[in-house]
Amino acid sequence: MNDEADKLKELIGKSKSLVAFTGAGLSSESGIPTYRGINGVWSKYDPAKYASYDYFVTDPSYYWQFFRDVRYPSLEHARPNAAHYFLVELEKRNILKQVITQNIDGLHQLAGQSNVCELHGNTRQIVCMECHKIGGSIEGWFTVAGTVYDDTKTSIFPNATISLTTGPNGTGTLVSSVEVDKKGNFYTTEMVDFGNGLYATVEGNSGINHMNAMVQSGQCNSCHGNSTDRIWTN
């Protein structure tokens, strides 16, 4: 061992009550990309748009695109590494009393850590801003999500219902229904079998609108060719 590792081993051996503070470096060993630095996430994505509550309220499609392209792929296959399990072992021995982490990947919990304080929340646990109901609960992901806009493609289409059917114009078998909230956003953690593709019908106060192309996944940009996750009601 080097001098620093020897000192750490000695410190842990003499301690009866430890607190661990962890950050991005710990999760990078599990394949989670770091945010800062030359090749960090924020070198490609503007945090003022993708990590801002105010911007999310203005246009949530930016975050859902970021979640789809960056966060979900890295979290889907990430597993705790040796450092996570080392901290769990210290907790089992009643040496480590608390883990305080800046990470939002939930890997501490997946490793079996009990006492975790998450300074920035948890990406695996998504909470409704209206009713504060937890939708993700670590095991759930948004299988269908996006924002509905009216035919001007600028104003949201709120308080509606999206019906996903096997046939066009609301025909065929109803596979799933997703509610659109007052801000035009829709999301669900329920598994949806898209099969060879489903057709979306949006029904709201101004009438019923049908999408003329099939949706083949929960990523709604695939049905209208736009780069962000938006559904047009026409």
Average pLDDT, the chain: 81
Provide the percentage of residues in the chain whose pLDDT is more than 90. 29
Span 84-98, pLDDT tens digits: 999 999 999 999 999
Compare 69 and 97 and report the one with higher pLDDT. 97
Indicate the pLDDT class of residue 218, thresholds 50, 70 and 90: low
**Catalytic residue of the set 108, 120, 132, 210:** 120
Contact 144, 178 (CB under 8 A): yes
pLDDT of residue 153: 67
Burial of 55: CB neighbours in 10 Å, binned 0-12, 13-18, 19+:
middle
In the chain, where are the structural domains located?
3-118, 144-232
Strand order in 116-118's β-sheet? 18-22, 96-101, 116-118
Catalytic status, residue 120: yes
- Picking from 196, 22, 6, the residue whose alpha carbon sits closest to that of residue 102 is 22
Predicted structure pTM score: 0.59
CATH 3.40.50.1220 fits 3-118, yes or no: yes
Reading the block at residue 219, the tokens are 């990523």
- Cβ-Cβ contacts under 8 Å for 150 (sequence gap 6 or more): 156, 157, 206, 233
Contact 88, 61 (CB under 8 A): no
Instruction: Give the CATH number of domain 144-232; options: 2.60.40, 1.20.120, 1.10.10, 1.10.3470.
Output: 2.60.40
Distance CA 180, CA 170 (A): 17
Neighbour tally for 41: CB within 10 Å: 20
Span 13-29, pLDDT tens digits: 888 899 999 998 999 99
- Among 106-110, 119-123, 148-152, the range with the most confident prediction by mean pLDDT is 106-110
Residue 116 vs residues 30, 78, 94: alpha-carbon distances, Å? 18, 18, 14
